[in-house]
Structure 1
Amino acid sequence: MSADSKYWFPAKRYGWGWGPPTNWQGWTVIAVFAALVLAGAIVLLPSRGPVTFIAYSVLLCVVLVGVCWLKGEPPGWRSPSE
């Protein structure tokens, strides 16, 4: 993990992607994401059905990955030998 505080999401130690947030901005993004998924489950599932909820969840995931891409460490494959 990087100690550089300009990144909200550090790169994973092994593999590709990002690990848990390292500051309050990253944790806020995760909390808002979770709250929006929960709100969608409460509102969309009963009224619009599972297909709408799945589309909504996919959209939220795309937005979350976009935020991680913009505010996280540059992603790349990291193997145990590095």
Structure 2
Amino acid sequence: MAIQVLFFGQLTDIAGNAIGIPVAETLRGLEQELWAQFPLLKEKKYALSVNQKMVAGDISLTEGDVVALLPPFSGG
């Protein structure tokens, strides 16, 4: 299963713009894998979206999903 992971804002300094993850069945499993690859991510605050929809909690992932890590942002 291939999942694309996108990073935005300050998170790109840690992980770059995008990576592919070959296996992740759940959002929490993906997060654990990302923390193993990029330990500094664990210290950062961010929201998660799957296929351009904000999500909370653990959900199942399927091949082709796009997961984005979005740091806090403000607007005006």
Q: Same fold judged by TM-score > 0.5?
A: no
Category of TM-score, reference length = shorter chain: under 0.3
Structure that is richer in strand per residue:
2
- Report the structure, 1 or 2, having the larger helix content: 1
Normalised to the residue count of structure 2, the TM-score between the two structures is 0.25
- Structure showing greater radius of gyration is 1
